[in-house]
């Protein structure tokens, strides 16, 4: 009952099993949806798909729309630390069969989450970050009847990931040396949380306006299994995110807003220029604010404010806002 009355700007966190794997859902606004909820903002994260990274971003969206619309973020399967009463997987055979921690499995995981937890008549504003944008395009392709009002693609890694400057660095590690990388992660997982927290602050100390809400989710990521699942998914991204899906983009162009970074090593400016050339009538923007690919580290509020501006400027939203 407390949950359904959660209309203020206090977050609520649910841990559920979806496709047999542990999933964390961060919710601002109502915790259960009914047919009276016309719009849901749903954030599909990057990788690692830890919802706690998006706390400031989600809180700002919720506040700027006057607390009227629920804003949720759903983690990737297995990208969270299960509470003591739950395991990483509820049904091991289901998780293995669907390869739920893989890229395709993560797409199916989000569609399954919608089917189970969001009424079919609720309209969606999907907000993807990084690989979350690829997942959104796949969701719209696989379920064309989803009621998507708008899909916001922030720093979209939707093509040629392994060929990007960052991809060239990460591909060998994620695809060929993943098990070697597990060792330091395992060793870090043995440290007490207070020491992990100090290490994280030290590593991120170069970021002047680091969002303090980032630290605790990063501690969780260093639990071992979380990081292993993120690396497994990352290896598949390098192998599978190749050509841009122009058919899916063409079909949904009027619903899509793309936002590319001006110095993004995962999707260089060339990718922005290429998509702009292929879709001259698309809403495709290049960052002028110096936001980094991992914007949640220090610009969650500013990026959320920008997204709200785009949505408020869209005439098709007048009915809802």
The answer to whether the beta carbons of residues 152 and 130 sit under 8 Å apart is no
* Residue in the structure block whose two tokens are 């998914």: 233
User: Rg of the chain's alpha carbons, rounded to an integer?
Assistant: 19
Query: In terms of DSSP H, where are the helices of the chain?
Result: 55-64, 92-97, 103-117, 131-142, 165-171, 178-189, 193-203, 215-221, 225-240, 246-251, 269-278, 300-312
H or E element, residue 291: none
Burial (CB count within 10 angstroms: exposed 0-12, middle 13-18, buried 19+), residue 199: middle
Strand partners, 258: 153, 284
* CA pair distance 228, 233, nearest whole angstrom: 9
Nearest to 160 by CA among 255, 253, 280, 272: 272
Cα three-residue angle 24-105-220, rounded to 5 degrees: 30
H or E element, residue 74: strand 71-74
What the block records as the tokens of 155 is 């720093």
* CA pair distance 157, 133, nearest whole angstrom: 7
Residues involved in catalysis:
130, 264, 293
* Residue in the structure block whose two tokens are 């207070």: 194
Q: What strands lie across the sheet with 148-154, from one edge to the other?
A: 11-18, 21-28, 71-74, 39-44, 123-129, 148-154, 256-260, 283-286
């Amino acid at each position: 009952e407390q949950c359904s009355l959660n209309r203020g700007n206090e977050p609520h966190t649910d841990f559920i099993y979806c496709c047999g794997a542990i999933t964390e859902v961060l919710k601002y606004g109502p915790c259960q949806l009914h047919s009276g909820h016309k719009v849901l903002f749903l954030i599909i994260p990057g990788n690692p798909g830890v919802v706690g990274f998006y706390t400031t971003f989600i809180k700002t969206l919720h506040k700027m729309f006057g607390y009227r619309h629920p804003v949720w973020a759903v983690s990737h399967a297995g990208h969270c630390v299960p509470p003591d009463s739950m395991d990483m997987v509820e049904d091991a055979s289901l998780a293995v069969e669907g390869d739920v921690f893989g890229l395709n499995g993560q797409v199916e995981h989000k569609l399954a989450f919608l089917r189970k937890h969001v009424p079919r008549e609720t309209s969606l504003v999907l907000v993807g970050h990084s690989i979350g944008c690829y997942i959104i395009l796949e969701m719209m392709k696989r379920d064309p009847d989803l009621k998507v009002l708008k899909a916001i693609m922030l720093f979209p890694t939707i093509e040629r990931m392994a060929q990007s400057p960052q991809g060239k660095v990460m591909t060998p590690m994620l695809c060929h040396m993943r098990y070697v990388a597990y060792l330091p992660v395992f060793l870090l997982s043995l440290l007490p949380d207070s020491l992990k927290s100090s290490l994280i602050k030290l590593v991120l100390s170069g970021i002047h306006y680091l969002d303090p809400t980032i630290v605790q989710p990063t501690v969780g990521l260093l639990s071992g299994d979380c990081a292993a699942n993120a690396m497994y998914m990352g290896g598949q991204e390098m192998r599978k995110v190749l050509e841009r899906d122009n058919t899916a983009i063409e079909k949904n162009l009027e619903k899509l807003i793309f936002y590319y970074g001006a110095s993004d090593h995962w999707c260089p400016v060339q990718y922005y220029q290429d998509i702009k050339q292929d879709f001259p009538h698309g809403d495709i923007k290049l960052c002028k604010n110096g936001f980094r690919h991992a914007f949640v580290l220090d610009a969650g509020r500013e990026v959320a404010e920008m997204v709200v501006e785009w949505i408020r400027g869209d005439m098709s939203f007048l009915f809802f806002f």
